[in-house]
Amino acid sequence: MNKKDLDFFIECKDYTVSGEYFKLLLDGEYDMLVTNPKPDDKVLGTYYESEDYISHTDSKRSFFEKIYHIVKSYALRKKVKLIYEINGEKGDLLDIGAGTGDFLIEAKKSNWNIEGVEPSQQARQLANIKGIELVSDTTQYTSSSFDIITMWHVLEHVPDLRNQIKELKRLLKPNGYVLIAVPNFKSYDATYYKSFWAAYDVPRHLWHFSKKSIQKLFEVESILLENVLPMKFDSYYVSLLSEKYKTGKMNFSKALFLGYKSNRKGKVSKEYSSHIYILKNKNK
């Protein structure tokens, strides 16, 4: 992924924090987009310092945030059911990018052995209040420790993509699974909203994936793609934010229609607003 091999794709604005503009460059070999310029690691955290960055807070200030948390509660239960179906039994679970710990709380209720990683000190503190202790990185964990590793809308934030995938390989048990949820820039809502598409979320999202990019990136470490599942609620959430960025207001009826249309298109194209990728660790 050398810069000389990347082509200009689109320019997007950071609507959440800075108001700065960033280019998205297309890596044709991996069929993925790369945010440029990539903020230095020392300043990257400043782009998360906003009450509007909802995954790092439990805020329910507005009708939109209240609806978000209602849908989130339903989705958490579905996620815990999914990891059980994949693993076949309860086991050792690591959630990377655990936010304020809600997924781990739900998994703990179902008797999973839970561990969680979250770089944000603010989010870790909120999780701790709920009785969930999170660590800031994965270095303390021994190799081959986990049956399931989850990254719910996290991989797109990771500064060093290749090293992160190597670390996932180290942490997974033989035949363990990693579940990756990320936005899909090939979805209908991405194509419709273009530079206003909220799931570009520059510069917090450093990478923008397709099915091909996920498969190619992980197979280098013999972590093989087994299945791709749609995240149908994401099209509505992303369309609401995209309407806000494009017009200055959420336009609920139009956004909900676009979300519905994106899911209908995705049923045919298999390109939904976001996907869950289920990958299995194979021995080299």
Q: What is the CATH number of the domain that holds 64?
A: 3.40.50.150
Structure tokens at 146: 């986990």
Q: What is the pLDDT of residues 61-117, one digit of tens each?
A: 565 566 666 677 888 999 999 999 999 999 999 999 999 999 999 999 999 999 999
Q: How confident is the model at residue 50 (pLDDT cuts 50, 70, 90)?
A: confident
Domain that holds residue 127: 3-281
pLDDT tens per residue across span 180-199:
999 999 999 999 999 999 99
Strands in 153-241 per DSSP E: 172-183, 207-208, 223-230
Number of domains forming the structure of the chain: 1
Nearest to 189 by CA among 248, 269, 70: 269
pLDDT digits (tens, 9 = 90+) for 82-94: 999 999 999 999 9
Strands 223-230 and 172-183: unpaired
pLDDT bracket for residue 56 (50, 70, 90) = very low
